[in-house]
C-alpha cells in the first residue's frame, strides 16, 4: 500500500490520505427532528464502512478510475468527485464566501 501511495505522490496527484478507525469507535450526530441526536457506534444499519480515503487531483473521472484500479486494497474503492464552488448557484456561492480561503488555510484542497 505504501508503494501505491508513493506512486501517487511522485505523480503529483496525491493531496491527502488517511485511514479511519472502525465505526464501533465513532459516533453519528443526526438531525432527523432538527435536534442533534448522538448515536455511538457500531451502527446496526452499517453494512459497508469506509476504512480510509485518498484525495487526489486529476483531470478526469477516467484518470481517477485508473488510479483506483491500481490500488492494492483488495475490496472496494469508491471514486467520487468533490463539489467545486462554481457548480453551486450564485446565492450558495455568496453564502459560502470565504470557504475557499478557509479550505486553503486548513490544508484542504488547492
The string of pLDDT tens digits covering residues 17-58 is 999 998 889 998 999 899 999 989 887 766 677 889 999 999
DSSP 82: P
| Dihedral of the alpha carbons of 81, 87, 93, 96, in degrees to the nearest 10 | -10
All residues at 6 or more sequence positions from 94 whose CB lies less than 8 Å from its CB, including other chains: none
The verdict on domain 2-79 having CATH code 3.30.70.580 is no
Domain positions in the chain are 2-79
Model pTM score: 0.74
Q: Which residue has the cell 472502525?
A: 22
Task: Please report, for residues 2, 52, 65, 95, the alpha-carbon distance to residue 73 in angstroms, rounded to integers and kept in the order given.
Answer: 11, 10, 14, 39
Mean pLDDT of 63-90: 90
User: Which helix H or strand E contains 44, and what residues bound it?
Assistant: none
In the three-class reduction of DSSP (H, G, I as helix; E, B as strand; rest coil), residue 10 is classed as helix
- Given a cut of 60, whether residue 84 has pLDDT beyond it is yes
Q: Which residue has the cell 478557509?
A: 102
Distance in angstroms between the alpha carbons of the first and the last residue of the chain: 25
Amino acid at each position: 500500500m505504501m508503494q501505491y501511495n508513493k506512486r501517487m505522490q511522485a505523480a503529483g496527484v496525491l493531496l491527502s490520505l488517511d485511514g479511519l478507525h472502525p465505526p464501533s469507535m465513532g459516533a453519528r450526530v443526526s438531525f432527523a427532528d432538527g435536534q442533534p441526536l448522538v448515536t455511538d457506534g457500531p451502527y446496526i444499519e452499517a453494512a459497508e464502512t469506509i476504512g480510509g480515503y485518498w484525495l487526489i487531483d486529476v483531470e478526469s473521472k477516467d484518470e481517477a478510475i485508473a488510479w483506483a484500479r491500481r490500488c492494492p486494497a483488495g475490496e472496494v474503492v469508491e471514486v467520487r468527485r468533490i463539489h467545486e464552488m462554481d457548480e453551486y448557484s450564485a446565492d450558495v456561492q455568496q453564502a459560502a464566501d470565504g470557504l475557499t480561503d478557509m479550505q486553503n488555510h486548513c490544508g484542504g484542497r488547492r
